[in-house]
Amino acid sequence: MARAMAPPMTQRRKSIRRHLLIYAAITPYVVIAVFPIYWMAITAFKQDPDLYRMEHFPFWFNLAPTLRNFKILFYQTHYGDWIWNTFTISAWVALITLVTAVPAGYALARLKLPGAENTGIAIFLTYLVPPIILFLPLSRIVAELGLQDSWWALVVVYPTFTIPFCTWLLMGFFKTVPMEIEEAARVDGCGQAGAFLRVILPISLPGVLTSVIFAFTLSMQDFLYGLAFVSPGDQKPVPVGVPTELIRGDIYYWGSLMGAALLVGLPVAILYNFFLDRFIQGITGGIGK
């Protein structure tokens, strides 16, 4: 009986030991990833004396938590407008990118156009152009459209770097879809557009979702174009409004700065976790070719 029980116990010990080693190896990376969020959270609720007294323990509350930093954020700045502007801009840019990049990526990947491969590479190379180089020609376009000092200027400007990369990404993903599936759809009576909408697009949903996430994220985190094209306080997105309104000379409103970053960054990070598997699948599928 003892001999019969010995192998399972040994196997269990090996399994426990293996899991402990895995968790021990992962723990430093988890701490590095979570610590900035923890630091933002406690700083957002700290009183100013608790922040600037060096003898205090910095990783917890030495004075009672306060909501004063959030009151400054919502009642003394245009933070509500900044959030609305940021998510509206990102949604429009994601939509424009999706409508443009999906048919472009499909055409370059599946329609056997002359020079399609080189065209795809050229499109991707435009994404690598530094934004500072494009600042002057884009400012002329924004001025001609009469969109200066309006967040609509960013809706026009941001697709210049989201569309190239997403087109290249979707090209690679569409190439991974077997041609036989599309041919079978045509045999069943679908035309080119029908096969694309009913067969190819649903299969390619991870790649499409990855493109949407990429466009949305880039639009949310841009600082240069927002600073250059939008000046009024109520028209700014969060990445521009927070540092320009909450850093006044040599005065840093650290609690409000951290609160602003936490309120925007944490919900987006949680939302991305629901699509993480599809995002990774889209990235790996897109770069596979």
Give tens-digit pLDDT for 129-158.
Answer: 787 788 888 888 888 888 888 899 999 999
Q: Find, among 189, 168, 159, the residue nearest to 107 by Cα.
A: 168
Q: How confident is the model at residue 115 (pLDDT cuts 50, 70, 90)?
A: confident
Going by the DSSP 8-state scheme, the letter that residue 67 receives in this structure is S
- Helix axes of 79-110 and 238-246: crossing angle, nearest 10 degrees: 150
Residue 265 lies in a domain: yes
The pair of structure tokens assigned to 72 is 């400054």
Q: How confident is the model at residue 285 (pLDDT cuts 50, 70, 90)?
A: low
238 and 220 Cβ atoms separated by less than 8 Å: yes
Residue 154 lies in a domain: yes
Backbone phi and psi for residue 135, each to the nearest 5 degrees, phi listed first: -60, -45
Cα–Cα distance measured from residue 269 to residue 82, given in angstroms and rounded to the nearest whole number: 18
Residue 146 lies in a domain: yes
| Summary mean pLDDT of the chain | 82
- Name beta bridge partners: 247: 252
The pair of structure tokens assigned to 241 is 């409004």
- What CATH number should be reported for the domain holding residue 199? 1.10.3720.10
**Which domain does 272 fall in, by range?**
75-287
Question: Residue 100 contacts by C-beta under 8 Å, 6 or more apart in sequence?
Answer: 159, 163, 167
Residue 172 lies in a domain: yes
Neighbours of 211 (CB within 10 A): 27
254 and 51 Cβ atoms separated by less than 8 Å: yes
- Please state the rounded mean pLDDT for residues 83-108: 91
Residue 6 lies in a domain: no
Question: Residue 94 contacts by C-beta under 8 Å, 6 or more apart in sequence?
Answer: 162, 212, 215, 216, 219
Residue 97 lies in a domain: yes
Residue 19 lies in a domain: no
Q: How confident is the model at residue 119 (pLDDT cuts 50, 70, 90)?
A: confident
Going by the DSSP 8-state scheme, the letter that residue 288 receives in this structure is -
Residue 248 lies in a domain: yes
**Residue-level pLDDT at 271:** 75
Asked if residue 93 has pLDDT above 90, the reply is: yes
Please give the tally of structural domains in the chain: 1
120 and 173 Cβ atoms separated by less than 8 Å: no
